[in-house]
Structures are given as structure tokens and as C-alpha cells.
Chain A
Amino acid sequence: MKKAVKIPLTVLGIGAAAFAVTFTVYFFNLDMKLTSMIEPILLNHYDKIPRNQRI
């Protein structure tokens, strides 16, 4: 295939794949599902930080 055709097709293919992946993440809320799993880990971590609690 000619280079002039191949490059745009590759770009288009990558773009389409990126769109397919990100749109799937977007539509099925996978980003939030992932971060909601991270939150308890972070909260546990905060609980372990020594605090100087005072007025």
C-alpha cells in the first residue's frame, strides 16, 4: 500500500481504537468504577498518618 494512504489509515485506526476504548470507559463508567475501588485504599492510608490533633 502506498505510504500516503497507509499513514492516514493508521492514524484513523489509532483514533478509532482510542475512541472505542475511551468511549467504552466513558459510557460504562469504568473510570469511576476504578476510582471507587481506589478510595478505600486511600482512606486506610490517611487513617495511618499520625495527626497532631489539637485546637
Chain B
Amino acid sequence: MAFKKVDLIKNPKERKGDQELGIFYTGKGKVMKRREWRGVKDTLYDYTRWLYIMSVLARFIVKPRNIKGMFRYRWMANYLAVPHMMDKFTQGLRDEPLRITHTAMNFVIYDVAQTIENIFRGDRRTGNDEEFSKRCVLTDENAMTAFMMGFKNSKAILREVPTMFVANLLTQYSTTHYIDVAQEFGIPGDVCPMPEAEAGISIDDDFAVLGCCAVQVNTTCDGSLMGNGLIAKRLEEEYGIPTFQLSAPMRHREADVQDYAAEDIKMAIKFVEEHTGEKWDWDTYFAAAKRVNDATRHRQEWLDVNSTYYPQFVGSVFSLYNDTNYMGNCGRSPLFPPVDAKITKLVRRGYERKTMMAKEYRHRCIVWGVQPQYNIHMLYWMINCWGVLPLTDMLSMVNTKMIAEEDTPENREQAYYDMAWLNENMIMRNRTHGGYKVLVDELWEFCEKMNADMVMMWEHMSCKALDGLHGQFEEQGRERGIHIVWVCHDLCDPRVYTRQAIRDEFSQYMRTVLREEPLDPSLEFINDENAW
């Protein structure tokens, strides 16, 4: 079958400021030699956002317990690189996409700073606020916090998010120490390095210790499920923090697993009630449910715009913001809806003005598979270097169903099913579990709907759920005339697959199969192996 073709879209406007984006790394230091010149207006905008980030960091570090935490926990060193992360995420962006990216990611930075503050406040080694700690419930990095939607005062602390997940966005070598610790203890090198690193953090005693209890979920994979047992053992035996294992069914689209899932949510809520002493509050729950639906509507609108010729909110920040809002927040915070609304306003404006992010858009691409944390910003590189537009990614294709948001007796029962549904459809696991239909078949549906001619397939080499259908992707993509660009990586261990090796795989496809030349040749080889 012939390959599908999409229209070439040329940008009538010339990009202001720096044209060559591959010149910022010298290969010597960890950071760029200077920041990007984006024209006067956008540079000044970026500068004000930099000031804002600096103010968030300054407000964080002036607190003594946070300084104490900085000197106790190895992962905290990565937070020296927060502004650097923003520079990676805004590479080449101007106008609305620049503002959307900052609006979304600056809020994520604020949210993570709050999470770390809360962690250190309750942490027995730093803040040791016992009263506060008694209100904290630890949850996993990849956990949907739906079961906390009806608790007004208790706090869900996603302890692994700042410790492992975000740290690896900041600096590429953030997890290697912990992976080594885990492997020294005997976990093989072929498992997913993310739960392995989390296990390593636990073994290395580098997690903050707080909370009255912990709720763990079988999240994305067998490795993640199994790593939880190891972490729970230390929590329970050494720190006396009881744990509850919340089970989300694997075949989550099947009707005959929903009762089970809802029942387990009830048990999780009961467990939290018992340990926090707080009763579930339906008003709080339904207010959160409204916000969940609100976030779903906004996300759908952004995706609708991304289905047109002029997408606005794309790239890793699209994914990371959705991660934070959909999963970590799950309607609990009233601070997210105004941010969503502001992004939507910018998305609409950008669409109306036909704002583009590169000289031309050659390919419309769906990014599938599990993204490498240490090279997640590569999506902007694809736009700038090759004119390949990442329309959406697997992790952002989550729940689209509206959940019950009015407080009625029927809806109170329905609510358990809704929470279970959200829990089952947490990011990544809603695709990696549930059979080939959700992972393979629906990918082709998204390609059709978003008019994509290309799938950039992140092949996370130790993600068994993805690897297990490698051949099916190959064959079915070929049958449908979709370009499947395989890009291998090892999630959060850049020693196995460097950033340049990842880019090379993409570039090779562009040159050898598509016979194209880069839009910005300076980006083809970037000397960032030692960079943060």
C-alpha cells in the first residue's frame, strides 16, 4: 500500500530571532552557552517567565526545612536545573505556543514546588510537622488520585513525582545512581528503569518519610506493581506506615471487571478514612468531579485544534501538563481550571491567527509508546529540525467520558464506578493494559481522526507491554500506509541510549526512507551528552 500523504503547510511568517537552534550546546558544560533570542517581544516575555520561575525557587529555598531537605536528599540537586528544563521545552517557540508552554509548565513547576514543600513539611527528617504528616496519604508516581477526591483536608502526596519522575526531566542522569543501587542489590538490568530507580531510592533510603498511610496502585506495568511491594515493605517494617494496595483491573474496558474495580475503590477510601480519621465528603467529591469534567473538555478542545492544520498546544509540555492535571490533581485543586481556561484562550487565538512553530509542517505525527524522560523535549526538536508536528502522544490520550457531577443518591453509587474508571484509565496504563485494542487498534483510529501520516514510536526497550506488540505495529502500520518511525530508548537511563542516538534513529528514517533534508541542519547533531 502506498504511504499516506499530508499537505505541506508553509509558514508565511519568518521566525524572529535565532534561526539556528543547534548552536547552544558546546559539549563541555552541562548547560547552554546562552539563552535563545526570540525577537524583542518574545524574549522579554520569556525573560519575565524566567523571573517568575526564579521567584518560585527563591520562595522555596528560603525556608529552613527546604534547605535541610536540599542537603539530605540526592534527588534535590536536580532542582538546580529548573530554568534549564524550561529552556529545553521552549526551544524554537514564539507567539502563542511559547505562551501556552509557559502557562502550562510554569504552573506545573509551581505545583511540584508545592508538593516538595509538603513533603519536607511532613518529612520526619526535615520539617517533621507531625500533625501535618498525619493528614498525608502517600501515593505512587503514576497513580490516579481519584480515591482522594472526597477528602477535604487530607493530602495526597505523590512522593515519587518530585523524587524520580520530575527529577529526570530536569537532568538526564538523575536516576542513574538509584538504578545502580537497585542493581547492586540484585534487580536485573532488563526491567523498566523507572520502577527500578524508585526501588533504588527506597533501598538507598532517599525517600522522604511522612504520612499516616500509603495507597499503592498497580499502575503501568508488572515492574511497577512489583517495585511497590519492595517500597511498601520498608514503609511498613521500618517506618510503621501501613499500606493499601489498590487494584485496577488489567482489562479495563470490559464490563465484567467494573464491579471489582469499584469495590476496591470503596476499600481504599475506607482505608484512608481509618488512617486519616477524616470522613469522605460528597460535596468535596462532586466539586472535584466537575473540575475533572472541565479538564476533560479543555483537553478535548486542545486535541480538536491539534487535528487541524494549525495545532497550538503540542510537545512534551502537552503531555506533562495533562499528566499533572489529569492524574496528579484529578480535580482536587481549584487552581487548575483557570490555567486550563487561559491555555484554551491562547490555543483559540493561535488557531485563529494560524500561528505555526516551524518554517513548514511536512508530516503530522502521533507520538506513541512510552516517552524517554531524559529526552522528552525531543518533540520540539522534531518540529524544528524536521518539520514533523507531534499532534498528540499516547500518554495524553486518556479518559474522554464525562463522570457524574451532580450529587444525587444514584450518582453517589456511580461515583465509585467513575473513580474506578479513572483509576483504571490512569496515564500510560490505559494503553499498556487492556489488550491490543487500546494499544494498537485505537492508534490507527487516532491517526485517522487527526489526519496523521506518521507515528513516532518510542520503543522503550524494557517496556514489555509495548515491546510485546512490536511486530503488530510494524505490520499493521505498513498495511495502513503509515510511516512508523521506531525510536529506541531506555526511559530514564541515558547510558543505555544517549539523546543523540535517539535523534539519530529519527534522522535516519527522515533521510533514508523519506529522503528529506532537515529544516535546521544545526540541530541534527547536538553535543548534549554531558548536558543536564
B76 to A: closest C-beta gap in Å: 8
Q: Which residues of A contact B234 (CB under 8 A)?
A: 54-55
Judge if B35 is at the interface, Cβ distance under 8 Å: yes
Are B74 and A55 touching (Cβ within 8 A)?
Answer: no
Question: Which single member of A26, A36, A38, A43 contacts B532 (CB below 8 Å)?
Answer: A36
Are A26 and B47 touching (Cβ within 8 A)?
Answer: yes
Q: Which residues of B contact A6 (CB under 8 A)?
A: none
Q: Which residues of A contact B206 (CB under 8 A)?
A: 51
Report the count of interface residues on B (CB-CB < 8 A): 35
Q: Which of B24-32, B217-225, B241-249 faces chain A?
A: B24-32
Q: Which residues of B contact A31 (CB under 8 A)?
A: 54, 83
Are B205 and A52 touching (Cβ within 8 A)?
Answer: yes
Are A29 and B32 touching (Cβ within 8 A)?
Answer: yes
Judge if A32 is at the interface, Cβ distance under 8 Å: yes
Complex: chain A residue closest to B186, CB-CB: A55
Q: Which residues of B contact A28 (CB under 8 A)?
A: 34-35
B337 to A: closest C-beta gap in Å: 31
- A27-B35, A53-B203, A53-B205 known; A43+B74 contact, CB < 8 A: yes
Judge if A49 is at the interface, Cβ distance under 8 Å: yes
Judge if B84 is at the interface, Cβ distance under 8 Å: yes
B453 to A: closest C-beta gap in Å: 37
B219 to A: closest C-beta gap in Å: 21
Judge if B230 is at the interface, Cβ distance under 8 Å: yes
Are B230 and A55 touching (Cβ within 8 A)?
Answer: yes
Are A36 and B30 touching (Cβ within 8 A)?
Answer: yes
Judge if B257 is at the interface, Cβ distance under 8 Å: no
- A26-B50, A27-B35 known; A35+B71 contact, CB < 8 A: no
Judge if A42 is at the interface, Cβ distance under 8 Å: yes
Q: Which residues of B contact A3 (CB under 8 A)?
A: none
> How big is the A interface, by class?
20 to 34
Are B51 and A32 touching (Cβ within 8 A)?
Answer: no
Judge if B77 is at the interface, Cβ distance under 8 Å: yes
Judge if B8 is at the interface, Cβ distance under 8 Å: no
Judge if A2 is at the interface, Cβ distance under 8 Å: no
Judge if B348 is at the interface, Cβ distance under 8 Å: no
Judge if B181 is at the interface, Cβ distance under 8 Å: yes
Q: Which residues of A contact B80 (CB under 8 A)?
A: 35-36, 38-39, 42
Question: CB-defined interface of A5-33 with B at 8 Å, one 1/0 digit per residue?
Answer: 00000000000000000110011110111
Judge if B270 is at the interface, Cβ distance under 8 Å: no
For window 400-454 of B, CB contacts with A under 8 Å fall at: none
Name the residue among B33, B185, B204, B234 with the largest chain A CB count within 10 angstroms.
B204
How many angstroms from the CA of A33 to the CA of B84 in the assembled complex?
A: 10
Judge if B81 is at the interface, Cβ distance under 8 Å: yes
Question: Which single member of A23, A32, A53, A55 contacts B81 (CB below 8 Å)?
Answer: A32
Are A43 and B33 touching (Cβ within 8 A)?
Answer: no
- A27-B35, A45-B71, A49-B72 known; A35+B203 contact, CB < 8 A: no
B137 to A: closest C-beta gap in Å: 23
For window 215-255 of B, CB contacts with A under 8 Å fall at: 230, 233-234
Question: Which single member of A22, A23, A32, A53 contacts B31 (CB below 8 Å)?
Answer: A32
How many angstroms from the CA of A51 to the CA of B184 in the assembled complex?
A: 14
